[in-house]
Structure 1
Amino acid sequence: MGMMRHQLDRHAPASNTRKAASSSTAHPQTRSSRQRVTFSMISPVLLLPPEITSIIFGNCLPSGHRYPSPLNAPLLLTQICRQWREFCLDTPNLWSSIAMADGCGAGCVQLLKQWLSRARNRPLTIAIVLDA
């Protein structure tokens, strides 16, 4: 019984957070305020000014040639939560550098197009690595 109570207590804060976020009976201003508090608990980095968050996320980028990988930023950051995904997709500096291997195929072309569209009008660094 003690173990079960421990498990319930451990999940209570998450349950309360979900309740606060989904409360549809609250006054719109109260609901908005609750959502801000909820998001700050889930992702406090997004409460920072966008310029600061952009610098923090930029420091997560791998150094050297940036091959697209879901295990590295920026793709990794887009998988954390919806708010991080939206922020990353709206931050062109995160997408301004890419490396591709020679002969990677049609899937790479589509990925490259998508990556470059996210970079918008930022100066680009593109590395094409040729097999020796």
Structure 2
Amino acid sequence: MIRDALLRDQGGADALVEGYYLHKVGEGRVLVPIRIWFGPPTDPLDGSELDRAPRWQIEINGVPFDDPANPPVIVGRPVDDVASFWPRCAGSPTDEADYRYRVDRADYAEAHDPADPFARTGGKVDVMQSVLPF
């Protein structure tokens, strides 16, 4: 379960809003894609929708926010508090295609090029070591 007061008290100005967002971790770092929605949870094994009560759910770079076995990590630190990215990321909405591209780009970089800044969620871009495109 997501352990945060923002999810329990949805009446204030900081209430979650469904959508896709980009979280700026710091200057010169890769933007972190975040998805927020209200609905039934999905099965972690096959992604199918479970027959459970709807609830607030969050994915950070494709990783479920409330998975204790595999917590999302931003800049080497596990994320355990919604306040670390919300409502700050609300000012940077994006669309589903951009969110999917960034998640897939990070998965590819992690599997094929660990030095790529996308391989680490919120990784720092080092222009002196970046591979130039052809």
Q: TM-score range with shorter-chain normalisation?
A: under 0.3
State the TM-score, normalized to the length of structure 2: 0.23
Q: Compare relative contact order (CA 8 Å, sep 6+) and give the higher one, 1 or 2.
A: 2
State the TM-score, normalized to the length of structure 1: 0.23
Higher strand share: 2
Mark the structure with the bigger radius of gyration: 1
Higher helix share: 1
